[in-house]
Amino acid sequence: MNRIKILFFGSAIFFTIFVFSLYICKFAVAKGGNALNQGSVIRIAMVMPVEGRYAFFGKQFVNGMLLSLKKSGASKVKFIIVNLSLSAGKTNIYDLFKSLSKKDVSAIIGPLFAGQLKYFAKYSDEFKIPVITPSPVVAKKDLSHYVFGYGMTLKQEIKTDMKYAYKHGIKSVSVIYPYYGYGPLTLRYIAFYAKKYGITLLNKTAYNKNTVDFFNNFDNIVIFNAITDRNVTAAERAELGVTKYDLMNGITKSKPNIPFGGLFVLGGKSKLELILTQLVYYNITGFPLFTLSSIDSRRFMEKNSFYMENSFFPDGFFKYARNEIVKKFSSAYKKSYGKAPNILSAEGYDIGKIVIKAAALSSKAADLNLSNRQNAYKGVNFYKAILKVKKIKGVCGVINLKNNIFHKSLYLFNYKNGKIYILKNPLG
């Protein structure tokens, strides 16, 4: 499950990698001639980081898409994979689109990195090649005419958490968030949905990359009970667990006054571990904890289960779902790759299904227009075919296309009493 999950040479180097990382994963060749010229192949470029630091993320996504080729109706689809590093910028991406347009690519899947999406948007319009992006952050300004969004976004995750809070009578929330990365953007989403659902955003407190002691953040959201060494007996000190550090800061580990009904705790796993353990240390407990899909990891939960009581988190995929579609996908994925799928694998598989369905619609259009069959697979016409994929059932749930976004619901999980409960299931 999980994902936040969090993604971002001259030209000669770029094209060297391009040549060596470009390979054909599936192809259909018509007998007696060039398949492309006969209109029997639809080329889809997967532009992902499959080498270097972020290769893990790209490969998980690619694996899912390749698995989709085992679905019926995939015989006309050919995937080509292009390595795209985080460092690739405007010039690299322009050259990439120019090269792919000459290869009669019908669509591009990518990028994973939100920072590159604005260039994909610009050149998808210029070269008339549709793009489907699984980026976790899709801003309206990056959704050009030819760009389709698909993926579990930060906005979706926050909406899922806040909607649950609203439905269960939580009137106010506070937020601990990182003052870097996606932190400020996530805070804006929380403020937006708090206003939408009539929930009061009481206090927000940010930390920086070097923060390891979160006492000052806690001091901004709760009211500690002040004490001094003079009015605490040895027995009371033993009972309350008061330390010299507590006395120095004028606090006690007796229950502080907690004004909020729920607390959003945001950040990477290493920061979350520190925050969650220190919340318990200062006895700041007894309320719902809302976080994101980044904590949806077996290793993380096993290590921090004691500190996660009554925590809520969303995700876009659940590999242990009893749904038959998910069971078959998880089994096939493990058989093919030797490991269980994750959210990126699932999203890759679902986008593969979208592409295959669009290919079928494009092929149908080609059959009706035999005199101009080759053009039926070009970018503009394939873009029109994607627009016709209004609804599809994938391993992440039912997917609906609206305003160039493939919308899907998320799971919502609750960790309580050592168990994980599914509160919301997009597959029913």
Handedness of CA 91, 97, 100, 101 (dihedral sign): negative
What is the chain's pLDDT, residue by residue, as a tens digit (428 residues)?
444 443 333 333 333 333 334 333 333 222 222 333 344 678 999 998 999 888 988 999 999 999 998 876 677 788 899 999 888 889 999 999 999 999 889 999 999 888 898 899 999 999 999 999 988 776 666 667 899 988 788 899 999 999 999 999 999 999 999 999 889 999 999 999 999 999 999 999 999 999 999 999 999 999 988 776 666 777 877 777 777 777 777 777 778 999 999 999 999 999 999 999 999 999 999 999 999 998 887 788 888 888 999 999 999 999 888 889 999 999 999 999 999 999 999 999 999 999 999 988 877 765 555 445 555 557 788 999 999 999 999 999 999 998 888 988 899 999 998 888 999 998 87
CB atoms within 10 A of CB 278: 17
Number of domains in the chain: 2
Q: What is the structure's pLDDT at 237? A: 76
Give the pTM.
0.81
Does some domain include residue 241? no
Q: Are residues 332 and 304 in the same domain?
A: no
Mapped onto helix, strand or coil, the DSSP state of residue 290 is strand
Q: Residue 400 in contact with residue 391, Cβ under 8 Å? A: yes
Distance CA(280)–CA(283), nearest Å, equals 5
Going from the C-alpha of 13 to that of each of 9, 17, 84, 88, the distances in angstroms are 6, 6, 11, 10
Q: Are residues 27 and 146 in the same domain?
A: yes
What is the end-to-end Cα distance of the chain in Å, rounded? 17
Q: Are residues 81 and 213 in the same domain?
A: no
Q: Are residues 66 and 170 in the same domain?
A: no
Q: Which phi and psi (to 5°) does residue 78 adopt?
A: -125, 120
- For 329-358, b/e burial (b = at least 16 CB within 10 A) is bbeebeeebeeebbbbbbbbbbbbbbbbbb
The CATH number covering residue 378 comes to: 3.40.50.2300
Distance CA(351)–CA(357), nearest Å, equals 10
Q: Residue 79 in contact with residue 66, Cβ under 8 Å? A: yes
Domain housing 33 = 11-152+324-407
Q: Are residues 332 and 308 in the same domain?
A: no
Q: Are residues 72 and 212 in the same domain?
A: no
Does some domain include residue 227? no
Rg of the chain over CA atoms, in angstroms? Answer: 25
Distance CA(42)–CA(386), nearest Å, equals 13
Q: Are residues 184 and 41 in the same domain?
A: no
Quick one: 125 exposed, middle or buried, by C-beta within 10 A (0-12, 13-18, 19+)? middle
To the nearest 10 degrees (0 to 180), the angle between helices 324-337 and 55-68 is 120
Q: Are residues 124 and 270 in the same domain?
A: no
Distance CA(404)–CA(382), nearest Å, equals 14
Does some domain include residue 234? no
Q: Are residues 168 and 54 in the same domain?
A: no
Q: Which residue do the tokens 């925050």 mark?
A: 275
Distance CA(252)–CA(233), nearest Å, equals 13
Strand partners, 421: 414
Q: What is the structure's pLDDT at 177? A: 97
Does some domain include residue 88? yes
Q: Are residues 64 and 129 in the same domain?
A: yes
Going from the C-alpha of 315 to that of each of 46, 49, 156, 158, the distances in angstroms are 24, 23, 9, 11
Q: Are residues 362 and 402 in the same domain?
A: yes
Does some domain include residue 236? no
Does some domain include residue 358? yes
Q: Residue 14 in contact with residue 326, Cβ under 8 Å? A: no
Does some domain include residue 304? yes
- For 316-327, b/e burial (b = at least 16 CB within 10 A) is bbbbebebeebe
Q: What is the structure's pLDDT at 29? A: 28
Q: Are residues 375 and 280 in the same domain?
A: no
Q: Residue 333 in contact with residue 64, Cβ under 8 Å? A: yes
In one-letter notation, the amino acid at residue 142 is D
* DSSP 8-state code for residue 85: -
